[in-house]
Amino acid sequence: MEKTKIGIIGLGGIAQLVHLPNLTKMNNAVVTSVAEINKNRLNTIADKFNIQERYTDYNEFLKKSDIEAVVIATPTSTHKEVAIACLKAKKDILVEKPLARTYSEAKPIIDTARRNKKKIMVGMNLRYRPDAMLLRSILNSGEIGEPFYVKCSWVRRQSSVQKWFTTKEESGGGVIIDLSISLLDLSLWLLAYPPVESVTVQCFYQNTKNVEDTALSFLRCKNSSVINIETSWSLQVEKDIFNLIVYGTKGTASLNPFRIYKKIEDQFIDLTPPQTESALTAFKKSYQNELKSFIGAVRGLNPVFSSGDEALLRMKVVDAMYQSSKQKTEIKI
């Protein structure tokens, strides 16, 4: 089988721990070149994964390499510039979330992709968890009736200790753009993407000054469904929390733990299928499935899931979330 040639720009933690290990195990793709501004890191990582083509300048990388697609894993503030350069060079791209810091910064990326007829996928790996995919199929089947309320929470340590990560000018924000955006995407995807009508958000700055480290968000959708999102790097909890519950008119479904309950007459019946996978396995598989989907889209085998157009809608909601927090009021979208 001919392998799809992939390049990676940015060799930080997500590239080292997720993209490179997973791509090197795929039988239909190969990482042929990498670009990284830090020369020591560039050579160390390229040596570790036996990649011969290496560049400190991504523009040179785009000119000289014969790659078909690019994974962009650079700091958020660089996404617009790097993504547009890749699209103009006629490369399909997978951009680590978030697509950009704001809606106005994301829009030119989407416009450039359309003009150049190239594909954009944004790294929303939670969709690709096996349990999340199973949950969506159950919701689509109508097993728990019409879903009307999603309640989700993600409390964990700060995702990165790098200085740019907590500098708003570079990252775009704190837990909202780090964790809430992923839960927002997962919730909207599970609900079949109803338009968001309004948002109300309260942020806290317990351990950070420049960006929020806790965010409590309430979203109303135009179909009357609602989403409640709790995210934090600083809430005092014994261990990390990640969970999501969908309430339907005929039952309830949840992730982590995965449970399906359906109300029949006056009794709740447990419809949960037997499971063997741990939460850690589901998380690891989410990245593997995401990359398989991206390579499939590049090869024309499947459509782009978690597309640039969907990412643009998410950024509009995220902008409103920050506006609500700042103005301390509900923001209509």
The percent of residues in the chain predicted with pLDDT above 70, rounded, is 100
- Range(s) within the chain of domains with CATH label 3.40.50.720: 4-123
Cα atoms in the Cβ-side hemisphere of radius 13 Å centred on 56: 7
Position 276 scores a pLDDT of 67
Does the pLDDT at position 277 exceed 70?
Answer: yes
Which pTM does this prediction carry?
Answer: 0.95
Provide the pLDDT confidence category of residue 158 given band limits of 50, 70 and 90: confident
pLDDT at 275 over 80: no
- Per-residue pLDDT of 32-63, as tens digits, reads 999 999 999 999 999 999 999 999 999 999 99
User: Taking all residues of the chain, what is their mean pLDDT, rounded to a whole number?
Assistant: 95
| Average pLDDT of the residues in 280-290 | 92
Taking 90 as the threshold, does the pLDDT of residue 165 lie above it? no
pLDDT at 245 (0 to 100):
98
Separation of alpha carbons 307 and 269, rounded Å? 36
Mean pLDDT over 229-246 rounds to 95
CATH T-level fold of 4-123: Rossmann fold (3.40.50)
Q: What's the mean pLDDT in 160-185?
A: 91
Amino acid letter for position 66: D
Q: What is the pLDDT of residue 13?
A: 92
How many Å apart are CA 116 and CA 52, to the nearest integer? 29
Residue 331: the pLDDT is 98
Task: Mark 129-168 as b/e (b = at least 16 C-beta within 10 Å).
Answer: bebbebbbebbeeeebeebeebbbbbbbebeeeeeebbeb
Average pLDDT, stretch 196-204?
A: 98
Specify the pLDDT at position 192.
Answer: 94
What CATH number is given for 126-288+313-332 in this structure?
A: 3.30.360.10
The closest of 319, 289, 268 to 105, measured between CA atoms, is 319
324 pLDDT tier (thresholds 50, 70, 90): very high
Q: How far is CA 136 from CA 173, 210, 261, in A?
A: 29, 36, 15
pLDDT of residue 267 exceeding 90, the answer is no
Q: Work out the pLDDT band at 268, boundaries 50, 70, 90.
A: confident
